[in-house]
């Protein structure tokens, strides 16, 4: 299995993912939200690049639509949820369709959509997605969303964790970026939360008071869900 890693959403080209399985990571916090919402029974999550796109989706739908996401880390006026996975409780999301727009994660989904299959990965559903990739056996491109077009350490750490688990089960040929992140994970796997908390984005969330979110997003293998993109909607596999 060939494994490649793209460092930011913006540098994920169609050519890079074509014919491969893509995995999108935005640990803080979009793909953690996706894992939590799916595990708590959401019927589907539709990612949007703009607030207007999400609002239009709600307007055009005959079914009840909830909206979530963030701008500058905070909830968007008129939306039902922010970008905290703690908000997406079973009571709030079970059986519901949710439109979400975020600054980084939904951009990565859009840019990687040409892949053979696209899965949303966070630490919360690490093993579930890894098992799916091992079942498929195709080459894998891991797309780290990053923050405002810059590499985000927390996404790199999650990518490294996925690579380590893939390597434990199959023979892998790593690109330079994949090798870099696999060694970074091996070096830091004993202190995941400490390393993750030093990232620029984690420190910003902590300053804004999202301490519980950070703890939650550092939890490994909390959920056994594989969110897969199907005609523009993330659904439980």
| Contacting residues toward its own copies, per CB under 8 A | 7-8, 10-11, 149-153, 156, 175-177, 179-181, 183-184, 187-188, 198-201
Closest CA to 22 of 34, 37, 12, 31: 12
Q: What's the min distance (Å) between Cβ of 115 and its own copies?
A: 17
Q: What per-residue string of b and e applies to 200-219 under the rule 16 or more CB within 10 Å gives b?
A: ebbeebeeeebeebbebbbb
**For residue 10, what are the contacts with CB-CB under 8 A and spacing of at least 6?**
107, 111, 146, 149
Closest CA to 146 of 50, 28, 23, 48: 28
Nearer to its own copies, 107 or 152 (CB): 152
Nearer to its own copies, 99 or 156 (CB): 156
Residue whose token pair is 């696999």? 182
Nearer to its own copies, 202 or 225 (CB): 202
Q: What's the min distance (Å) between Cβ of 16 and its own copies?
A: 9
Q: What's the min distance (Å) between Cβ of 48 and its own copies?
A: 25
**For residue 24, what are the contacts with CB-CB under 8 A and spacing of at least 6?**
31, 105, 108, 109, 112, 118, 119, 120, 121, 143, 145
Nearer to its own copies, 13 or 56 (CB): 13
Q: What's the min distance (Å) between Cβ of 55 and its own copies?
A: 30
Nearer to its own copies, 18 or 198 (CB): 198
Q: What's the min distance (Å) between Cβ of 204 and its own copies?
A: 12
């Amino acid at each position: 299995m060939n494994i490649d890693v793209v460092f930011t959403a913006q540098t994920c080209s169609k050519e890079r993912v074509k014919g491969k399985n893509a995995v999108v990571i935005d640990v803080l916090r979009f793909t953690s939200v996706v894992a939590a919402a799916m595990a708590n029974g959401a019927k589907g999550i539709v990612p949007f690049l703009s607030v207007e796109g999400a609002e239009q989706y709600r307007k055009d739908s005959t079914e009840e639509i909830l909206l979530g996401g963030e701008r500058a880390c905070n909830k968007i006026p008129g939306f039902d949820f922010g970008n905290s996975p703690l908000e997406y409780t079973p009571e709030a999301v079970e059986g519901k369709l949710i439109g979400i727009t975020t600054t980084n994660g939904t951009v990565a989904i859009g840019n990687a959509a040409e892949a053979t299959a696209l899965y949303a990965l966070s630490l919360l559903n690490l093993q579930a997605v890894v098992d799916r990739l091992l079942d498929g056996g195709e080459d894998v491109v891991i797309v780290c969303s990053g923050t405002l077009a810059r590499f985000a350490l927390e996404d790199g750490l999650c990518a490294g964790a996925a690579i380590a688990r893939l390597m434990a089960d199959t023979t892998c040929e790593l690109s330079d970026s994949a090798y870099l992140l696999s060694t970074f994970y091996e070096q830091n796997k004993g202190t995941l939360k400490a390393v993750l908390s030093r990232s620029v984005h984690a420190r910003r969330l902590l300053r804004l008071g999202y301490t519980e979110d950070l703890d939650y997003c550092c939890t490994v293998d909390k959920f056994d869900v594989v969110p897969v993109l199907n005609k523009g909607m993330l659904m439980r596999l």
